[in-house]
Amino acid sequence: MSRELSVVVLAAGMGTRMKSALPKVMHKIAGKPMVNHVIDTAANLNATKTMVVVGPDMPKLIEAVSPHPTFEQTDRLGTAHAVLAAKEALRGLMGNILVLYADSPLFTAETLSRLVAAREDGDHAVAVLGFRPADPTGYGRLVTDPGNGELLAIVEDKECDEKQRAINFCNSGVMCFRAESMIETLEAIGNTNAKGEYYLTDAVEVARANGNSCVAVEVAEEETLGVNSRSQLAVAEALMQERLREAAMANGATLIDPGSVYLACDTKLGRDVIIEPNVVFGPGVTVGDDVTIKAFSHLESCVVGDKADIGPYARLRPGAEIGAGARVGNFVEIKKAVVEDGAKVNHLSYIGDARVGAKANIGAGTITCNYDGYRKQHTDIGAGAFIGSNSALVAPVSIGDGAIIGAGSTITGTVEADALVIERAQRLDKPGWARVFREKMKALLGK
């Protein structure tokens, strides 16, 4: 796509109905703030410039959208006023300027691209994405010419007469402007209306009065969902998850029960990955080819190599790197640790701040004691080492290649390669003691 395109994202609303300390558009869908979904969609359209209009006192939002420039709309005087907050940055732009709401994260790049193309097609001053909801109440209505289909006006719900209120073709909020005439158009918009606001939607009538044409493009209602409440946030999450699951399967992953698998927008799955039911992916997960992730596993910010086998009930936390053919079994937690190729951590272990060498075997219940209350310390386990069950490895500690640790050991110092180390209390045997004890008790208590 060679056409020139800039984007203004409206994110000034606090979203009181969310009942949150966080600006509404910072709430996440599939692990990513809504505003970043919108910005990333714009990036997929090859937008050359993306500007974000924010409200007063939203430092976290400004940080989240960085390095994109932000413009503060101090008083909330309407959507046209909001766009004009970025006026200085809009000046001199050419081609298309797309206005998006940061609380509407489901528009696809394909749809937006269709809108931009329609705007360019007839060199229209404004192109609007419209949809047909079952109940149009609350939306601006798109008034079109029955003859040529041109968009004549957008009439806000509160301004509609009876006939206009019956129209069910509605404004989704997404509008594309001819950059060269946009500022002039917006500055001519007044606020003599029911809400006393500068309506961006009035741009259509203003542009037409100046001899321009406008056009509406239809989009499926599903894409237009705006999030105003936690309940709508959950609906948007569900729709996004459905898309991500479909994409994962289309790319060659098997999801045995797709509805119970939660993906992040950046989850990367290789070919012939099998994901069992009830698996949750946080952000930043990359999975290689031929991996099976068994039921009830939770993964975030980690890498899983080809042919590895994860779960059931595994937890891979940030910085876990699982090598090719490695095995992480049930009730195992791995954090900031490299488990090299072919190593096995099969049962009930915590491995944190560590390296587990290639083909090492970590027995059930092994714990790396990585934290002394102040510092995190490293555990190094060599290739082919065998750690007996229920061992505690007190970091910093290093186990050489091929060493064996006896079960139940608490290891506090370096273990040489190929050594056997058992570090546990000496065994004490008292033959017959138990029988004598029982007989004494019977004599004393009669039972």
The residues binding ligand UD1 (CB under 6 A) are 10, 12-13, 53, 73, 76-79, 81-82, 101, 103, 139-140, 154, 156, 170-173, 199-201, 226
Q: Which two tokens stand for residue 166?
A: 């019956």
- Please say whether the beta carbons of 181 and 140 come within 8 A: no
**Residue type (1 letter), 127:** A
In 3D space, the residue among 412, 408, 410 whose CA is nearest the CA of residue 398 turns out to be 412
Residue closer to ligand UD1 (CB basis): 167 or 274: 167
Q: Write the CA distances from 189 to 179, 183, 439, integer angstroms.
A: 16, 10, 101
- Here the tokens at position 123 are 């060199």
In the bound state with ligand UD1, the residue whose beta carbon lies nearer, of 78 and 258, is: 78
Task: Measure the CA–CA gap between 214 and 175, rounded to whole angstroms.
Answer: 11
Tell me how far, at minimum, the Cβ of 150 lies from ligand UD1, in Å: 18
Nearest residue relative to ligand UD1 (C-beta): 140
**CA pair distance 353, 334, nearest whole angstrom:** 9
Residue 401 near residue 416 (C-beta atoms within 8 A): no
Closest C-alpha to 185, from 196, 172, 201: 201
Question: CB of residue 53 vs ligand UD1: minimum separation in angstroms?
Answer: 6
Angle between the N-to-C axes of helices 34-44 and 109-121, in degrees from 0 to 180, rounded to the nearest 10: 50
Min CB(34)–ligand UD1 separation in Å: 10
Radius of gyration of the chain (CA): 31
| Nearer to ligand UD1 (CB atom), residue 81 or residue 315 | 81
Q: Which is nearer to ligand UD1, 129 or 248 (CB)?
A: 129
> Could you say which of 124, 298, 347, 378 is catalytic?
347
Residue 102 beta carbon to ligand UD1: minimum distance, rounded to whole angstroms:
6
The full length of the chain comes to 447
Strands 151-155 and 141-144 come out as antiparallel
Shortest gap between Cβ of 234 and ligand UD1 (angstroms)?
18
347 is catalytic: yes
Q: Which residues pair with 299 in a beta bridge?
A: 281, 316
Q: Compute the least distance from the CB of residue 200 to ligand UD1, in Å.
A: 4
The residue among 52 and 405 lying less far from ligand UD1, judged by its C-beta, is 52
Q: Among all chains, which residue has been given the structure tokens 């940055």?
A: 89
Q: How far apart are CA 336 and CA 286, in angstroms?
A: 15
Q: What's the min distance (Å) between Cβ of 140 and ligand UD1?
A: 2
CA distances from 39 to 2, 65, 94, 103 (A): 19, 8, 20, 11
Strand pairing report for 367-369 and 392-394: parallel
Q: How many CA within 13 A on the CB side of residue 419?
A: 12
Residue closer to ligand UD1 by CB (options 232, 410) is 232
- Measured from the CB atom, is 218 or 341 closer to ligand UD1? 218
Report, as residue numbers or ranges, the catalytic residues: 347
